């Protein structure tokens, strides 16, 4: 069984490679996965900039801690960079979920794969 950290790091590297191949400059945050102060990766190309919190969880819903999402919302507000949760489910691919689509719950924030399926694909971000 692959550890959560290794699976997450591999998923981040996959996105970094994909964006780089499409002409984006990509920065992976130091301490990625260790704090809620910044997103995992930042991607830039003339006219486009995204901050992504990456998750590679094979579940039907994604639950996130309130401090993590609140930190990402603050990041987006301060920087003006479009911030999203990038979620990959094996054999279903990546979805890029704007923060406003996350549902507030008593324990934090969540989104179902059913909702995520209707969000942006990689191809939509790079156009």
| CATH code, domain carrying 10 | 3.40.1350.10
The DSSP element (H or E) to which 87 belongs, if any, is strand 82-89
The DSSP element (H or E) to which 26 belongs, if any, is strand 25-28
The predicted pLDDT at position 51 comes to 97
Closest CA to 36 of 53, 20, 60, 59: 53
**87 Cβ partners below 8 Å, 6+ apart?**
55, 56, 57, 62, 94, 95, 97, 111, 116
Mean pLDDT of the chain: 91
CA–CA separation, 25 vs 34, rounded Å? 23
Q: What mean pLDDT comes out for the span 102-106?
A: 96
Give the domain extent around 29.
Answer: 4-126
pLDDT in tens, 9-43: 899 999 999 999 999 999 998 665 555 568 999 99
CA–CA separation, 86 vs 34, rounded Å? 17
Residues comprising the chain, all counted: 127
Predicted TM-score of the model (pTM): 0.90
Per the structure, how many domains does the chain have? 1
């Amino acid at each position: 069984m692959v550890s959560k950290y290794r699976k997450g790091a591999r998923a981040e590297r996959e996105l970094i490679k994909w964006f780089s191949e499409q002409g984006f400059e990509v920065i992976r945050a130091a301490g990625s996965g260790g704090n809620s102060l910044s997103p995992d990766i930042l991607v830039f190309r003339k006219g486009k900039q995204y901050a992504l919190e990456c998750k590679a969880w094979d579940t039907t819903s994604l639950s996130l801690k309130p401090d993590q999402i609140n930190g990402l919302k603050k990041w987006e507000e301060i920087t003006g960079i479009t911030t999203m949760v990038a979620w990959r489910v094996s054999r279903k691919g990546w979805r890029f979920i704007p923060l406003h689509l996350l549902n507030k719950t008593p324990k934090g924030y969540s989104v179902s794969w059913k909702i995520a399926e209707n969000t942006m694909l990689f191809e939509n971000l790079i156009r």
